Chain A
C-alpha cells in the first residue's frame, strides 16, 4: 500500500514535471536568435550574409522549433561601431525578445555587446571577434567565446613563426581593440621566446594604402612583419609588402587570415603564408558536406566563424531543449555541462570563463601548383590541442574563475 502510494506520488510529480516541460518555459513563445554582424562594411564577407545563413541553417536543422516553439532568426548591421552594436543589443534584449545574439564580428562591437549581455543576463556567442576581454574582464555566465581568439592566433601562427627563427618583429596594427589585443598577445609570445618587438605602426580600419606603413616596417629591419589586422586591411598590407619588395629580406606573418582573404589575395601572392584557423571547409566529409550546402546558399565557401555560427547555434538550441526552458541561467548551466561533437569540432566544451575549448589548426597556403580546384587553398601543418591553443585559466582575469 505504502509503496504504491509512493509510486503514485512519484508518477504524479513526474507527470507534473513533464507537463511543465511540454508547456515549455519559453519566454514570449519564441526562441529568437539575433545575428549582429557587419552587413555592409569591411568585414561583410567574413560575417554578413554568410553568418545569417549559417544561423538559419542551424535553426532549420534543429527542426525549426524547439520545445514546440518557433525558432526565429533576425539580423542587424552593427556598422563596425560599438555604440551601434550595444544599442541594438539593448533594444533586442529589452523589447525584441531576443534570447541569444550570435556572430559579433569586430572586437570593439563584441566588447560593447558583452557588457550589455552581462548587465541584461542574456546569451551572446562571439564567433567573429578575437578580443580576449570576452573571457576575461567582461566574462559572464552568458557569454561564450566560441570560434577563436587572439591568444589562439598568437599561439598558433605567432609561435610557429618564432619557432621557425623569426626573433625580431615589427607590427602593422589596425588601430582598435582587435589590433591592439592581437599585437599584445603575439608580443607576449615573441618576448616569451627571447625575441624582440622593434615597434609597430598603427593604421585606421579600412586603410587602402599601406605603402607608408610598409616603408616603416622596412626601415625597422625586423625579420618579421606581423600583420595584426584582417580582411581587406590584411590583404592590402600583404599586397603592399610584396610590391615594395619587403618580402625579399623580411618575412610576413599574417596573424588573422581568413579563407576569403586568401581567395582575394590570390595564391600567387598568398602562397606559403601560415595561418591559424579553427576550421577549414576541406577538412573531412562532414565539413565538405556543410560547405557544399552553404555554398549553394551563399555562393562562396564558409569560413571558420560562419561554421562556428552554425555549430554554436545548434549547440544553444540543443541546450534550450535539454534545459526545457530558455531561461538564461538554466541554459547557461546546461551549456557548460554539454559537449559538442559536430562538423565544427569533436568533444568541444565550454569552460567556466565562457571559452569554448576545441582544437585549433595551423595551416599553410598552397602554391598555385598544389591547388587543384577553386577554394582549394590550405594544407594542414599541425593541430594545436585545445589546452595549448587557449589561455590557461590560471592566467584568466575572469571573476568566475576560482583561484
Chain B
C-alpha cells in the first residue's frame, strides 16, 4: 500500500519520528512560552541551556560516574540554578525595556556559552550511551522504534501535562498568572513577585536542561546542538501563540510531524517548512493558533 507515492510503512514511520522530534520541540517551547508569558523576555539562550543540560549529563557521567537517571534529576537543577543566577544579575535589569534588549542580552549569552564549550570540549561532540534499560528497539509493525525514542515521547507528554496543571490548576500557578497580568496588584497582596519571576526563569531554563538530557543519547553532545533547534522552537512558540503553554506543546508535536513528512517528500525544504507555516499563521492569525489577541 502506498500513501501519496511512498510506501505506507515509510509514511507511518515518518509520522512516528515526527512525534519524537515534536516531543523535543514541545518541551523546549514549553519553557520558552512560560518565560515569555511571565517575564516578557525573549529568551534566546534557551537552546544554549539545552546544550548545557546535555553537557552536564555527559560530564557527570564522565567525571563522577553518575548514570543517566541521576543526571536526569541533577542536570535540570544545575541548569535551573545557573538560570536563576543569570536572571538575578542580568535579566532583571532589562525588565520593562524594549523586548529587543532581552533578545540581545540572551543572544550574547548564547555566543559566550557556545564559544566557551567549543573551546573547552571541542566541536566534534561526545558520545552519550543510552541507558541500559532503554536500549534496543521495538518492532511496531511498520518500523523498528528504538525504545529510547518511545520513552522520549512518553516523558515529554508527562512533563507538558505536569507543567500545564501546575500553571492552570494550582495556587502557585494562580500566583504566577496573577503576577503576569498585574504585577503591582499581586505584590500588594504580599506576594514576592521578583522572586516568582526569578523562579520562573529558573524553571523555564531547567526544562531546557531537561530536554538536553533527554536529547543526549540521541543527538551526540556538542556545543552547537541547541543553536539550530532554538530557531525552530521560536517559530513554534510564535505559531502556537506567544505565552500559550498548551498551544506551544501541541504545536511542537504537530510541526515535528510536518517536518518529518517534508523530509520524505521534498527533503530540501525540511529546514524551511516550519517557517513557511509560521508566515502563513502570522498572516491569517497574527496572535498564533492558540494565542489570545492582546488589547
B20 A211 Cβ-Cβ under 8 A: yes
State whether the Cβ of B224 lies closer than 8 Å to any Cβ in chain A: yes
Q: Which residues of B contact A235 (CB under 8 A)?
A: 124-125, 220
Q: Which residues of A contact B225 (CB under 8 A)?
A: 208
Q: Which residues of A contact B177 (CB under 8 A)?
A: none
Q: How many positions in chain A have a CB within 8 Å of any CB in the partner chain?
A: 39
B81 CB to nearest chain A CB (Å): 26
Q: Among the listed B13, B14, B125, B267, which residue makes an inter-chain contact with A203, where contact means beta carbons less than 8 Å apart? A: B267
State whether the Cβ of A339 lies closer than 8 Å to any Cβ in chain B: no
A264 B124 Cβ-Cβ under 8 A: yes
Q: Which residues of B contact A42 (CB under 8 A)?
A: 123, 224
Surface stretch bound by B, among A239-247, A316-324, A366-374, A375-383: A239-247
State whether the Cβ of A359 lies closer than 8 Å to any Cβ in chain B: no
Q: How many positions in chain B have a CB within 8 Å of any CB in the partner chain?
A: 39
A244 B137 Cβ-Cβ under 8 A: yes
B220 A40 Cβ-Cβ under 8 A: no
Contact with A along B148-172 (1 / 0, CB 8 A): 1100000000000000000000000
Given contacts A216-B264, A263-B124, contact A44 B118 (CB under 8 A): yes
B127 A208 Cβ-Cβ under 8 A: no
Complex Cα–Cα for A269 and B6 (A): 31
Q: Which residues of A contact B126 (CB under 8 A)?
A: 264
Given contacts A45-B124, A212-B263, contact A239 B220 (CB under 8 A): yes
Given contacts A236-B219, A264-B220, contact A208 B228 (CB under 8 A): yes
**Which among A45, A202, A212, A231 has the greatest number of chain B C-beta atoms within 10 A?**
A212
Contact with B along A39-74 (1 / 0, CB 8 A): 011111110100000000000000000000000000
B248 CB to nearest chain A CB (Å): 20
Q: Which residues of B contact A204 (CB under 8 A)?
A: 270-271
Contact with A along B215-226 (1 / 0, CB 8 A): 000111010110
Contact with B along A10-45 (1 / 0, CB 8 A): 000000000000000000000000000000111111
Besides A232-B123, A245-B144, A260-B124, 13 more A-B contacts (Cβ < 8 Å) are A40-B123, A45-B124, A201-B267, A202-B268, A208-B228, A209-B21, A211-B20, A212-B260, A212-B270, A219-B6, A243-B137, A244-B143, A245-B137
B122 A45 Cβ-Cβ under 8 A: yes
B149 CB to nearest chain A CB (Å): 8
Complex Cα–Cα for A218 and B118 (A): 34
Interface residues of B in 177-225 (CB under 8 A from A): 218-220, 222, 224-225
Q: Chain B: which residue is nearest A264 at the CB level?
A: B124
Complex Cα–Cα for A236 and B127 (A): 10
Q: Chain A: which residue is nearest B143 at the CB level?
A: A215
A48 B123 Cβ-Cβ under 8 A: yes
Q: Which residues of A contact B20 (CB under 8 A)?
A: 211
B263 A232 Cβ-Cβ under 8 A: no
A13 CB to nearest chain B CB (Å): 56
State whether the Cβ of B10 lies closer than 8 Å to any Cβ in chain A: yes
B interface list, Cβ under 8 A from A = 6-7, 9-10, 13-14, 17, 20-21, 115, 118, 122-127, 130, 137, 143-144, 146, 148-149, 218-220, 222, 224-225, 228-229, 260, 263-264, 267-268, 270-271
Q: Chain B: which residue is nearest A220 at the CB level?
A: B10
Interface residues of A in 233-280 (CB under 8 A from B): 235-236, 239, 243-245, 260-261, 263-266, 269
Q: Which residues of A contact B125 (CB under 8 A)?
A: 232, 235, 264
A236 B10 Cβ-Cβ under 8 A: no
Q: Chain A: which residue is nearest B148 at the CB level?
A: A243
B10 A216 Cβ-Cβ under 8 A: yes
Q: Which residues of B contact A41 (CB under 8 A)?
A: 123, 224
A269 B21 Cβ-Cβ under 8 A: no
Q: Which residues of B contact A337 (CB under 8 A)?
A: none
Q: Chain A: which residue is nearest B145 at the CB level?
A: A244
Q: Which residues of A contact B137 (CB under 8 A)?
A: 243-245
Q: Chain A: which residue is nearest B13 at the CB level?
A: A215
12 CB contacts below 8 A, A to B, read A43-B123, A44-B118, A45-B123, A46-B124, A208-B219, A211-B149, A212-B14, A215-B143, A243-B149, A245-B144, A264-B220, A265-B127
A175 B220 Cβ-Cβ under 8 A: no
State whether the Cβ of A300 lies closer than 8 Å to any Cβ in chain B: yes
State whether the Cβ of A82 lies closer than 8 Å to any Cβ in chain B: no
B127 A40 Cβ-Cβ under 8 A: no
B1 CB to nearest chain A CB (Å): 13
A264 B14 Cβ-Cβ under 8 A: no
Given contacts A42-B224, A208-B220, contact A175 B268 (CB under 8 A): yes
B220 A244 Cβ-Cβ under 8 A: no
Q: Which residues of B contact A390 (CB under 8 A)?
A: none
Q: Which residues of A contact B130 (CB under 8 A)?
A: 243
A206 B124 Cβ-Cβ under 8 A: no
B124 A244 Cβ-Cβ under 8 A: no
A244 B146 Cβ-Cβ under 8 A: yes
Q: Among the listed A209, A218, A232, A300, which residue makes an inter-chain contact with B222, where contact means beta carbons less than 8 Å apart? A: A232
State whether the Cβ of A281 lies closer than 8 Å to any Cβ in chain B: no
Q: Which residues of A contact B13 (CB under 8 A)?
A: 215, 219
B46 CB to nearest chain A CB (Å): 16
State whether the Cβ of A169 lies closer than 8 Å to any Cβ in chain B: no
Q: Which residues of B contact A211 (CB under 8 A)?
A: 17, 20, 149
Q: Which residues of B contact A206 (CB under 8 A)?
A: 224, 228
B242 CB to nearest chain A CB (Å): 26
Q: Which 4 A-B pairs have the closest CB atoms?
A: A44-B123, A212-B263, A45-B124, A245-B144
Complex Cα–Cα for A269 and B212 (A): 22
